[in-house]
Amino acid sequence: MPVDLTNARPLAWDSATLDADTKEMLDNLQPNILRAHVREHLSLLFIRFNDISDGKRFLRTIATRHLKSARKHLEEVRAFGKDGRPGTPYVGIGISKAGYRDLGHSVEDLRRFGDRAFRDGMKRRIAEVNDPAVTEWEAAYQREIHAVVLIGDARPEPVAKLRKEILGQLPGTARVLGEETGAGMRNPAGDGIEHFGYVDGRSQPLFVADEVAKEPRKHWNPAFPLGNVLVADPFAPDANRHFGSYFVFRKLEQDVRAFKEIERDLADALGLTGADRDRAGAMLVGRFKDGTPITEKARAGGGPVGNDFTFDADTGDKCPFSGHIRKTNPRFDSIRNVLMARRGQTYGERADRPWDDAPPETRPSGGVGLLFMAFNSSLENQFEFTQRDWADNADFLNPGTGHDPVIGQGVRDIKVAFPKVWGRPEQSAPQAQVAQTVTMRGGEYFFMPSLAYLRGL
Ligand code: HEM
């Protein structure tokens, strides 16, 4: 039975009745696509090969020695849940269009990648998503990157060890053009946060039955078909059974000080007092810092961060139409195919505590941010569509409601209003949109091929 990419029934990956094709798919799929791999510590190596056979040998060696399959990962997660046995580190490989070309695939061959954005590469897509000119990107990303190797684990030591080993296997003809180090941050409740201090990574399309089973789903169904992230691997031995995923990487620097000033100024402008001042930032993000969706007023007594909500009953009097999570997932049925699997990680060190109420002056204004990463079945219709048609579009959802205040790019030249009181229709006087505090520093589009392809190189 061919692998069913369209069915939203969650994948019962360990079922005795699982068909042979899906089993083969799981044995050849890279981990971290269908289910997030732990990557509290993460190293990314951006590589350029200058010799075809050396490049192939390197990728084949890494794949054979260090890459586990999606199935092995799912088994490890289960074992960890049962008796706390830690799994093995994550190693992932992505290849850019330039990488495939220089590994010997002809331009004609590359057309077998259905995704136009991937075939162009990120540098040729800057106009699509209002990105800064390539000359403003960090030097490493201005170069032509062939491949990215990701190494992740819960602890730093295994990452350091593997990084050294992998670099040791790099042929003399290849170069590491750039390197990023991600390190997860958690708030006192133990939830993963990003640098503005908000819980992140909570809402995801889920594919695997074990994960879906844990989620309440009265309002929002988190189960998605495999087709949201998987496509046939065009160069694998058997494209019907060997799959891969398009991977977007973007280094997004965050000016935390400016964002905190904006939160303070917005609270002042709206006359918010006491605990209600937190609503200023929450209206920009769509969730409070502790992850509570702003469609709910407060999370009673802690507990897990909820995701079982929609905006159906909210006409913009709780979450503004521009709120980051409303822009990037307005939660109605016809947009479900746009949602990608986000696998980002924070980078940069800081001495302050992102979740507390320390004054803006004590916050970093650079050097920290998000290594935004996401798996897509179409970069054009998912990542780029989200950035351009939603985040950068002041009229998305409702005319004149503004850019996404967190990630929107482009000129923010219209005035916007905010609900003065939570859940009440009265709007503030129109005011300038908040300034842009997230800056793209470079990135690339990759394809994460099947293990069958990599091992056969
Ligand atoms: C530095 C940049 C960014 C920051 C600080 C940020 C922050 C956040 C936060 C705090 C959440 C809420 C947590 C959650 O629901 O999982 C979130 C959710 C989300 N973000 Fe971002 N984000 C950034 C970049 C991006 C980019 C570039 C995109 C896509 C173009 C994106 C798309 C999403 C999506 C799809 C969700 C989930 C919405 C939902 O399903 O409710 N984010 N982000």
- Phi, psi (deg, nearest 5) at residue 382: -120, -80
pLDDT of res. 307:
96
Whether residue 45 is contained in a domain is answered as yes
Distance 70 CA to ligand 1 centre (A): 24
Beta partners for 151? 43, 91
194 lines ligand 1 (CB under 6 A): yes
Whether residue 214 is contained in a domain is answered as yes
Whether residue 232 is contained in a domain is answered as yes
Residue 300 has pLDDT above 70, yes or no: no
Whether 53 and 196 map to the same domain: the answer is yes
CA 234 to each of CA 25, 59, 107, 226: distance values in angstroms, whole numbers, following the listed order:
14, 17, 13, 17
Whether 146 and 270 map to the same domain: the answer is no
pLDDT of res. 301:
64
User: Please, which pLDDT band fits residue 1 given cuts at 50, 70 and 90?
Assistant: confident
Distance 432 CA to ligand 1 centre (A): 23
Whether residue 2 is contained in a domain is answered as no
Average pLDDT over residues 160-185: 98
Whether 36 and 167 map to the same domain: the answer is yes
Domain interval for residue 123: 21-248+445-455
Q: Which of 72, 204, 97, 88 is nearest to 148 (CA)?
A: 97
Q: E strand or H helix at 59, and its extent?
A: helix 52-66
Whether 199 and 261 map to the same domain: the answer is no
Residue 46 has pLDDT above 80, yes or no: yes
Distance 14 CA to ligand 1 centre (A): 31
pLDDT of res. 83:
94
Whether residue 50 is contained in a domain is answered as yes
Site to probe by mutation for ligand 1, drawn from 407, 437, 440 as the one with most ligand atoms within 8 Å of Cβ, is 407
Q: Say how many domains are in the chain.
A: 2
Whether residue 149 is contained in a domain is answered as yes
Whether 243 and 343 map to the same domain: the answer is no
Whether residue 280 is contained in a domain is answered as yes
406 lines ligand 1 (CB under 6 A): yes
Own/partner contacts of 380-385, CB < 8 Å, gap of 24 or more, are 380/115, 380/116, 380/117, 381/337, 381/338, 382/228, 382/337, 382/338, 382/339, 382/340, 383/117, 383/248, 383/340, 384/117, 384/125, 384/128, 384/129, 385/338
Distance CA 443, CA 373 (A): 10
Site to probe by mutation for ligand 1, drawn from 247, 342, 343, 346 as the one with most ligand atoms within 8 Å of Cβ, is 342
Whether 318 and 199 map to the same domain: the answer is no
Q: Which of 89, 306, 377 is nearest to 294 (CA)?
A: 306
Whether 64 and 148 map to the same domain: the answer is yes
Distance CA 335, CA 337 (A): 6
Whether 301 and 203 map to the same domain: the answer is no
Contacts of 371 (CB under 8 A, 6+ apart): 42, 44, 180, 182, 249, 250, 251, 252, 344, 345, 346, 347
Distance 408 CA to ligand 1 centre (A): 11
Residue 189 has pLDDT above 90, yes or no: yes
Torsion of CA 36, 38, 39, 41, to 10 degrees: 170
User: Please, which pLDDT band fits residue 297 given cuts at 50, 70 and 90?
Assistant: confident
305 lines ligand 1 (CB under 6 A): no
103 lines ligand 1 (CB under 6 A): no
The pLDDT tens digits for 342-397 are 999 999 999 999 999 999 999 999 999 999 999 999 999 999 999 999 999 999 99
Whether 130 and 166 map to the same domain: the answer is yes
Which residue CA neighbors atom 31 of ligand 1 most closely? 328
Mean pLDDT across the chain: 96
Whether 291 and 380 map to the same domain: the answer is yes
User: Please, which pLDDT band fits residue 299 given cuts at 50, 70 and 90?
Assistant: low
212 lines ligand 1 (CB under 6 A): no
Identify the DSSP state of 429: P
Whether 120 and 172 map to the same domain: the answer is yes
Whether 140 and 202 map to the same domain: the answer is yes
Whether residue 100 is contained in a domain is answered as yes
The pLDDT tens digits for 70-129 are 999 999 999 999 999 999 999 999 999 999 999 999 999 999 999 999 999 999 999 999
Distance 200 CA to ligand 1 centre (A): 7
